[in-house]
């Protein structure tokens, strides 16, 4: 009889929902996701349009064309002027600050004269795709979205 009573008491004690361990577990899960969120890699994109042959209803004004050339070693030329370093491993080399500044100024002057800017990227055959994306990144910073892509250097 005593044994049965003890059994009944322990059952009554353990029956209730325990909030403290529940909160413990929830905090651990929350910490796990907070740490994980910092290391998540997100895949972004640079969007562009290939030139088409659509008929236009009105006359189109020809935009100011800017040529950016990328050499095999990573050297970037803006209208034949070499800019920034060829060191694509350093953050400074990857950011292409001189190119971004020049492009920003060109866009501002084009906007002032109510003209559009068109940038053509001429990448040499063996230039790394990473360097092309560095240039696209600099163009994004300069808020230029009118970009075409060509893989051979201009004649």
Catalog residues that contact another protein under the rule CB under 8 A: 7-8, 10-11, 14-15, 17-18, 22, 25, 29, 41-52, 70, 94, 123-130, 132-134, 136-137, 140-141, 149-152
Residue 153 near residue 122 (C-beta atoms within 8 A):
yes
> Closer to another protein at the Cβ: 31 or 46?
46
Strand bridging mode 81-83 / 117-123? unpaired
Considering beta carbons, is residue 11 or 112 the nearer one to another protein?
11
Q: Which of 134, 132, 72, 144 is CA-nearest to residue 105? A: 144
Residue 59, by phi and psi: left (phi above 0), alpha (psi -120 to 50) or beta? beta
Q: Is the Cβ of residue 12 or residue 113 nearer to another protein in the bound state?
A: 12
Instruction: Give the integer Cα–Cα distance in Å for 28 and 127.
Output: 47
Smallest gap from Cβ 114 to another protein, in A, equals: 26
Which is closer to another protein, CB of 53 or CB of 113? 53
**Least distance to another protein from the beta carbon of 120, Å?**
13
CA distance 37 to 47: 26
- The least CB distance from residue 148 to another protein, in Å, is 10
CA dihedral 97, 98, 104, 107 (to 10 degrees): -140
Min dist. Cβ of residue 44 to another protein (A)? 4
Indicate the residue among 22 and 115 with the shorter CB distance to another protein: 22
User: Smallest gap, in angstroms, from Cβ of residue 78 to another protein?
Assistant: 17
């Amino acid at each position: 009889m005593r044994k049965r009573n003890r059994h009944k008491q322990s059952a009554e004690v353990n029956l209730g929902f325990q909030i403290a361990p529940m909160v413990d577990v929830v905090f651990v899960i929350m910490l796990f996701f907070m740490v994980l969120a910092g290391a998540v890699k997100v895949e972004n994109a640079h969007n562009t349009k290939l030139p088409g042959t659509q008929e236009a209803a009105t006359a189109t004004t020809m935009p100011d064309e800017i040529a950016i050339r990328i050499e095999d070693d990573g050297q970037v030329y803006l209208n034949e002027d070499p800019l920034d370093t060829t060191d694509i491993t350093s953050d400074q080399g990857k950011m292409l600050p001189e190119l971004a500044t020049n492009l920003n100024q060109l866009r501002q002057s084009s906007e002032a004269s109510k003209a559009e800017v068109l940038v053509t990227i001429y990448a040499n055959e063996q230039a790394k795709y990473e360097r092309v994306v560095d240039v696209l990144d600099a163009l994004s910073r300069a808020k230029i979205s009118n970009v075409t892509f060509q893989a051979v250097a201009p004649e």
